[in-house]
Amino acid sequence: MIRRLSFSDRVSDGGGVPRGCVPVLVCDGGDGAGEGERFVVRVEALRHPSFAALLEMAAQEFGYKQEGVLRVPCDVRHFKDVLAAVSVSSSPRSSSSRK
């Protein structure tokens, strides 16, 4: 569901980001100017309701017209918790199977 990028990866120009994924910079600070931890997140994860609050915080802090990497102003641990919740709810074992 996620892949962590090293800081040497060039995320701002989209290089190295697989199709169907979005580069995300999770930053604790208010300005989001390059400090933080970078992730590559599948688009399907962003559609999950657990991400709604994170995306709203990003929109309030940085606006709706972010270019390049999506900056999310939250604690890295909280972001990882949301990703874990999304991956659990989207795994085949957690969905009910109909026979």
Q: Please report, for the chain, the start and end positions of each structural domain, with discontinuous segments joined by +.
A: 19-63
In this prediction, residue 79 has a pLDDT band, given cuts at 50, 70 and 90, of very high
Strand ranges across the sheet with 37-42: 2-4, 37-42, 21-26, 70-72
CB atoms within 10 A of CB 82: 17
Give the separation between CA 22 and CA 17, rounded to whole angstroms: 7
User: CA distances (Å), 21 to each of 15, 31, 69, 87, in order?
Assistant: 12, 24, 11, 15
* The length of the chain, given as a count of residues: 99
Is this model's pTM higher than 0.75 or not? no
* pLDDT score, position 11: 42
CB atoms within 10 A of CB 99: 2
pLDDT tens track for 29-48:
655 555 799 999 999 998 88
